[in-house]
Amino acid sequence: MKTKFLLINAINPAREIEASMPPLGLGYLVSALREEFGEETIEFKIVDRRVKESLKRFKPDLVGITSVSQNYNLAQEYARLTKAPVLVGGIHLTSLPSSLAKGNGDWRHWRGRKDFD
């Protein structure tokens, strides 16, 4: 049985500049993890819109969220929508790791592929 891993790019879709750029970092991560663990072990889904719907339909075993500082509040909101373990990363937490709020359940600062070693 595959592990279901939902990756969320926390953007504000109302901002055209954010909505027009694909989440390349998440795509690179998926590629690296598939190379490391094989295609048969993890099922990935990447979203940046309709997050609540995706969480409900995909039913992930693990959630990864990337965010820039101006959208970190969205990342926190998305993380609270799931009971699955959440890995939160991106430039915001890389620059300000202390902003990962304590007491938010099973949230972890995700520093990319090295967290899987």
pLDDT at 22: 82
**What pLDDT digit, counting tens, does each position of 59-105 carry?**
999 999 988 878 888 988 998 899 998 888 776 666 656 666 654 44
**What pLDDT digit, counting tens, does each position of 16-32 carry?**
888 888 888 899 889 98
pLDDT at 13: 82
Q: Cα dist. 20→6, 49, 79, 90 in Å?
A: 20, 12, 23, 18
- Under a CB-based contact definition with an 8 Å cutoff, are residues 47 and 54 in contact? yes
What are the E-state strand segments in the chain? 3-10, 42-47, 62-67, 86-89, 107-109
**Among the listed ranges 9-13, 46-50, 52-56, 90-94, which one has the minimum average pLDDT value?**
90-94
